[in-house]
């Protein structure tokens, strides 16, 4: 109908296979081949540890970052890539074997805690995919958000969306990244009409931000908006005492109530800006 010819399965687009095969190992094997080729070339030179560090942190990331931003790489592939770089870090010449004095999971610790700050491929992959989920949440009117919503969650939100029937690998990958995103998301209270006061994460001072609810709480109080006296723009103390523990009441009352009518929004808790970044996401994943 659209007069689009079948391009076959061997073509490349922006360095990736135009078709994601049933075998994910086959689809992303080129990433491993490129990184391995680079590392083999580095072994021909005498490099200091500082030189190795610069290469490990820059070149492999540049080769793989585009693919990892949109697709989940298999755990086996990520472990293989980690192993290639670990072997290069500890030993340089062909057939040379050196002891790995510390495990790779300690090597990718940041310099602030004594590690060299290398990135674990699987955790970095997850942080990059969480960024796609954040874009869907923060830019609901974007083309990709509208397409994915129409295909996979037309009647729900992104945070409650399921895989659906015959999901693409890209969609499955984004849902995997969502697991990380959910760890640091909470609601930013404005008018309270979108926040379930006993189920959602919305308390700023009590990580992980879920409210401490009394067992004898009032079942008719569902939304945060019901906890506010809007005529006086103050918290309804009677409703708070009937539904929450004393310590939680103090935390809730410290939340300012806006004089302007604005819609509640989701924020990423860890940076002060409230916006998700791959760097902060990677730290949480570690």
Query: Domain limits of the chain?
Result: 21-115, 126-185+269-285, 190-263
pLDDT reported for residue 41: 83
For 281, counting Cβ atoms within 10 Å of its Cβ (0-12 exposed, 13-18 middle, 19+ buried), the class is: buried
pLDDT digits (tens, 9 = 90+) for 199-235: 999 998 767 788 989 988 999 999 999 999 999 999 9
Helix, strand, coil proportions of the chain in percent (round to 5)? 50, 5, 45
pLDDT reported for residue 200: 92
| Residue 245, helix vs strand vs coil | coil
Please state the separation of Cα 256 from the chain's center in Å. 29
Using alpha carbons, select from 15, 132, 25, 131 the residue that is nearest to residue 75: 25
pLDDT reported for residue 90: 76
Tell me the two tokens of residue 93. Answer: 């010449």
pLDDT reported for residue 78: 92
Beta strands in the chain (DSSP E): 12-13, 16-17, 185-188, 228-229, 234-235, 265-268
For 173, counting Cβ atoms within 10 Å of its Cβ (0-12 exposed, 13-18 middle, 19+ buried), the class is: buried
Tell me the two tokens of residue 48. Answer: 């200091």
pTM: predicted TM-score of the whole model, two decimal places: 0.84
Q: Which residues of the chain have pLDDT under 50?
A: none
> Half-sphere exposure of residue 66, counting CA atoms within 13 Å on the CB side?
11
pLDDT reported for residue 236: 95
In whole angstroms, how large is the CA radius of gyration of the chain? 24
pLDDT reported for residue 84: 86
pLDDT reported for residue 29: 83
Length of the chain: 286
| Residue 5, helix vs strand vs coil | coil
| Residue 234, helix vs strand vs coil | strand
pLDDT reported for residue 24: 73
Start-to-end C-alpha separation, the chain: 48
pLDDT reported for residue 46: 74
């Amino acid at each position: 109908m659209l007069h689009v010819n079948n391009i076959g399965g061997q073509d490349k687009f922006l360095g990736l296979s135009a078709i994601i095969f049933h075998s994910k190992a086959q689809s992303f094997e080129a990433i491993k081949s490129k990184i391995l080729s680079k590392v083999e070339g580095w072994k021909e030179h005498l490099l200091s540890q500082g030189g190795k560090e610069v290469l490990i942190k820059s070149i492999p990331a540049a080769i793989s970052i585009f693919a990892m931003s949109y697709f989940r790489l298999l755990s086996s592939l990520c472990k293989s890539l980690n192993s290639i770089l670990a072997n290069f870090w500890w030993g340089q010449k062909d057939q040379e074997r050196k002891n790995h004095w510390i495990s790779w999971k300690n090597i990718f610790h940041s310099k602030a805690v004594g590690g060299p700050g290398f990135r674990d491929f699987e955790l970095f992959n997850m942080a990059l995919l969480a960024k796609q989920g954040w874009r869907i949440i923060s830019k609901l009117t974007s083309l990709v958000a509208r397409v994915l919503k129409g295909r996979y969650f037309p009647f729900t939100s992104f945070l409650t969306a399921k895989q659906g029937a015959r999901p693409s690998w890209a969609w499955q990958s984004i849902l995997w990244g969502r697991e990380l995103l959910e760890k640091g998301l909470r609601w930013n209270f404005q008018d309270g009409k979108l926040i379930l006061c006993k189920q959602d994460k919305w308390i700023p001072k009590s990580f992980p931000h879920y409210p401490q609810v009394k067992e004898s709480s009032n079942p008719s109080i569902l939304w945060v908006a019901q906890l506010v006296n809007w005529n006086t723009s103050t918290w309804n103390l009677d409703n708070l005492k009937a539904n929450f523990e004393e310590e939680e009441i103090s935390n809730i009352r410290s939340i300012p109530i806006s004089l302007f009518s604005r819609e509640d929004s989701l924020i990423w808790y860890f940076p002060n800006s409230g916006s998700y970044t791959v760097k902060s996401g990677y730290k949480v994943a570690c």
